[in-house]
Amino acid sequence: MNSAATPPMKQLALDIGLAPVPTLDNFVAVGNEAALEHLRLWVGNPLRSPVPTCLWGEGGSGKTHLLRAVREALQSHGARVGWLDAQNLHPGDYDEHWEAVLLDDVHLYTAEQQAAAFNWFVNAQAPAHGPARWVLAAADRPPADLQVREDLRTRLGWGHVFQLKALGETERRAVLRRAADERGVFLGDEVMDFMLNRFSRDLTSLMMLLDQLDAYALRTQRAITIPLLKSMLENE
């Protein structure tokens, strides 16, 4: 096989299904407990407040995971949800049947996407029929610092705003070590270094990787080593 065509380890980790459906329960909330509790209360309350919420933080802090988790929770109860991210290049019109509007990676929006996001936001907050709908947005910086159209930027900042914090390597290492110990898994320093350097940096993805690695080690009756991890990537 041409080595140039071989995806990097980080991509392989995504390809083999290490990321099951994001949920609020499988989000690792270390340092971000307030934001998670806010979302739990909102999703679990049938009398939901329409005050918008904006999550912001650097890459790997869990923004997209939480938005997808909220979407899954709402849809599991039969709710329709409007979803817009940077990959949706030509967003459609607002749907009055939506119960919430979720706007991911707002900092990456094109002018067309910004226009759609503003339209969705206004229609959700002041609909022609029925009660106001919730808007949940995410970006890599505070709303006040977003380089987007002014009317969208100001609206994103007037509700609840939470900063999501990505853990540093020392903290991630400590949490990963504790999680391995809780599972009765011996994770050597070399394996941990490999996981932290070659895979997605966000803690939730690392926990999912640990779960999959633990299951694979049990199934193959082998100790967790770098060769075992590489074997899992090749065979799963």
What confidence tens digit (pLDDT) does each residue in 173-228 have?
Answer: 888 888 888 888 888 899 999 988 888 777 777 888 898 899 999 999 999 999 99
What is residue 68's three-state secondary structure? Answer: helix
Name the CATH code of domain 33-163 (choices 3.50.50.60, 3.40.50.720, 3.40.50.300, 2.30.29.30): 3.40.50.300
pLDDT tens string 47-105: 778 999 999 999 888 899 999 999 999 999 999 999 999 999 999 999 999 999 999 99
Residue-range domain boundaries for the chain: 8-20+167-235, 33-163
Separation CA 186–CA 105 (nearest Å): 37
pTM of the model: 0.77
Q: List 136's β-bridge partners, or say none.
A: 53, 102
Which among 57, 208, 20 is positioned nearest to 137, based on CA atoms? 57
Burial of 181 (0-12, 13-18, 19+ CB in 10 A): exposed
Q: List 135's β-bridge partners, or say none.
A: 101
CATH number of 8-20+167-235: 1.10.8
Structure tokens belonging to residue 198: 């070659």
What is residue 126's three-state secondary structure? Answer: coil
Which among 61, 95, 98 is positioned nearest to 79, based on CA atoms? 98
